[in-house]
Structure 1
Amino acid sequence: MIIHKNILQARDHKGFTLIELIVVVGIISVLLTMSIGSYSNVMRNLRDTKRKDDLQKIQAALEQY
């Protein structure tokens, strides 16, 4: 009986609870959502900068022509 009780107590302290796992998954989901939003803004700014640079090159080429 004493051994059985010790085994049950040892099992209770191993691993994570379902609530802990759900909280961690929730936090990771929020962080991913925020990073994806930031990534799309960075990519949009990068495209805009490239387009402005391309237009400046076209304008310079037309002025030389």
Structure 2
Amino acid sequence: MFGTPGFGELIIILLIVLVIFGAKKLPEIGGGLGKAISNFKKATTQPDEIDVTPKAKDETEEKKKD
């Protein structure tokens, strides 16, 4: 009943999105969706890392001067 959508269903969904958002917004929506998917893939494949290296003395002194 609820399997993967076929070609006809994808065309109907695309037409509905086109009517709702308009032709000018579709490239922006697609680009944003692509960036979101790539960022999600990066986040799931990279191991969790925490940087625990101490800062150099020069960096901390420069921040105090500002």
Provide the TM-score with structure 1 as the length reference.
0.38
Look at both structures and tell me which one has the larger radius of gyration over its CA atoms.
1
Provide the TM-score with structure 2 as the length reference.
0.37
